[in-house]
Amino acid sequence: MSSKPQLPTYDKLMKPVLQALLSLGGSGTIEEINERVYNDLRFTDSILQVPHGETGRSEIEYRLAWARTYLRKSGLIENSARKVWSLASPDVKIATIDVKQIVRNVRAESKKAQEFDSPGPSSSTQTEAEEIATWKEQLLITLQGIAPDAFERLAQRILRESGFVQVEVTGKTGDGGIDGKGIVRINGFLSFHVIFQCKRYKGSISAGQIRDFRGAMQGRADKGLFITTGSFTRDAAREATRDGAPPIDLIDGDLLCEKLKELRLGIEVELIETVTLKNDWFLNL
């Protein structure tokens, strides 16, 4: 009888997130931070592949998002418009941080702002984790429900909007999973032929699927692009960038959502800008 892997709760991940940022020089992207935490805590693939509901995201990614949210609300970290997270102070003493007090303080502030108690990660407070739980999860559920040929046309539109030319959807059966091709030009001088595969998927794409795709594109393109509503295993990510093999870029469900948001494809975004000068930030450099 197999037991479900034990995942650390979001509060247990706060100090590892801070340690990861310290190791990265004080700042890092979500992907860099998460990868450092995975390595530091020696997470196995069985832990990393536990899904969060039907969204295609992993449970550990979701809990790390909440860890960052609590740390941000406590003033220990901050994030920029370019989705780079950084320590609010380079002199943070991780050993002296009281995680339980952080949780109490953030919940008290949420209660005061919303006029009702917040039990934790089910809070309706507007946070990074809540944003993931709303528009991204809803978008992925919608994408997983559309027809396969519609998803291929969506991939075609994304590539065209991103600057690709001569983008075609092939979708030939027995073609090794190749769904289309296109050409990307850089600065009007360099061009690369790209073959893409797109999968409406709730689970994780394996290294074997990446190898199969690479075998199909061998000798037919400079690069490969694999687009999915799900995620990629760590072995798949390593296989995609393996030395001596044609490179394959990976777009998982989270990045796909961000790209659709950036391109305003099926998503409307209302921005309200408030500019506040933070003198302390410059003093802490």
155-182 residue pLDDT tens: 999 999 988 889 998 866 555 678 899 9
User: How much is the pLDDT for 81?
Assistant: 61
What number is the average pLDDT over the span 191-212?
A: 89
Cα angle at 228 between 262 and 248, to 5 degrees?
Answer: 90
- Name the pLDDT band for 125 (thresholds 50, 70, 90): very low
How far, in Å, CA of 215 to CA of 195, rounded? 12
Helix (H, G, I), strand (E, B) or coil at 85: strand
> For 163-275, where are the E strands, in sequence order?
164-169, 180-186, 190-199, 204-205, 223-228, 231-232, 248-251
Please check whether residue 158 is in contact with residue 265, taking contact to mean a CB–CB distance below 8 angstroms: yes
DSSP state letter for 133 = I
What is the per-residue pLDDT for 211?
A: 92
Q: What are 222-262's pLDDT values in tens digits? A: 899 999 998 888 889 889 988 888 889 999 988 899 899 98
- The span from the CA of 89 to the CA of 281, in Å, is 8
SS3 content of the chain, % helix, strand, coil (to 5): 45, 15, 40
The residues with which 190 forms a beta bridge, in sequence order, are: 186
Spatial CA neighbour of 45 closest among 54, 36, 55, 58: 58
Contact 46, 5 (CB under 8 A): yes
In 200-242, alpha helices (H):
207-217, 234-240
CA distance 23 to 94: 12
Strand 190-199 with 223-228, pairing: parallel
Predicted local confidence at residue 107, as pLDDT: 86
What pLDDT score does 118 carry?
44
Pairing of strands 223-228, 248-251: parallel
Measured between its terminal Cα atoms, the distance across the chain in Å is 53
What is the DSSP track for 123-178?
A: --S--HHHHIIIIIHHHHHHHHHS-HHHHHHHHHHHHHHTTEEEEEE---TTSTT-
Beta bridge pairs of residue 58? 51
Average pLDDT over residues 263-277: 80
Report how far residue 154's alpha carbon sits from residue 175's, in angstroms, rounded to the nearest whole number: 20
Which residues face 198 on adjacent strands?
227
User: Range with the lowest mean pLDDT among 59-63, 108-112, 137-141, 160-164?
Assistant: 108-112
Please give the structure tokens belonging to residue 247: 């490179």
**What does the pLDDT average to over 211-216?**
90
Percent of the chain clearing pLDDT 70 (strictly above): 86
pTM tops 0.85, yes or no: no
Q: What is the pLDDT of residues 7-58, one digit of tens each?
A: 899 999 999 999 999 999 899 988 889 999 999 999 988 888 888 776 667 8
Mean pLDDT of the chain: 83
Task: Report the Cα 266 to chain-centroid distance in Å.
Answer: 19
Predicted local distance difference test score (pLDDT) of residue 119: 44
Residue 149 has pLDDT above 70, yes or no: yes
Q: With bands split at pLDDT 50, 70 and 90, how would you rate the model's confidence at 131? A: low
Ordered by where they begin, the domains of the chain are 10-136 (1.10.10), 146-263 (3.40.1350.10)
